[in-house]
Amino acid sequence: QSFKLLGFLDVQSVPCARESVLYGSLGSLVVGLGHFLATSRVRRSCDFAVGGFLSTMLGYWFYCRYNLAQQRIRQRMLKEGMQNRMLFEGSYLDPERNQTGNERSDS
């Protein structure tokens, strides 16, 4: 069972979708209720609530996706570094290899 928002956004499988919708609904509540308490205009407060939902949801969506992309880049760099370490371990290309005086004179 998957929950699709607006018929196309699968909230369970798309990264950051669930959190974006939750923060958007919270932003909608805060903006709409705040505008209503300030002006006592119901229809306009609902309009502000919809705007608050969209802006909060999209703002958190881009923030979360940016952090996810950064995390994936760091994971890829770490994976490549670990593969290179296994590949070069014990060879003359190993940066952590302690070279003694005899090894320097041979190469």
Per-residue pLDDT tens digits for 84-96: 777 777 777 676 7
Whether this prediction's pTM lies above 0.85 is answered by: no
Who contacts 45 (Cβ-Cβ below 8 Å, separation ≥6)?
32, 33, 35, 36, 39
Spell out the domain ranges in the chain.
Answer: 16-85
Angstrom distance (rounded) from CA 5 to CA 1 = 13
Per-residue pLDDT tens digits for 62-88: 999 999 999 999 999 999 888 877 777
Per-residue pLDDT tens digits for 25-62: 999 999 999 999 999 999 999 999 999 999 999 999 99
Q: First-to-last CA distance in the chain?
A: 64
Q: Provide the H-helix boundaries in the chain.
A: 17-39, 42-88, 101-106
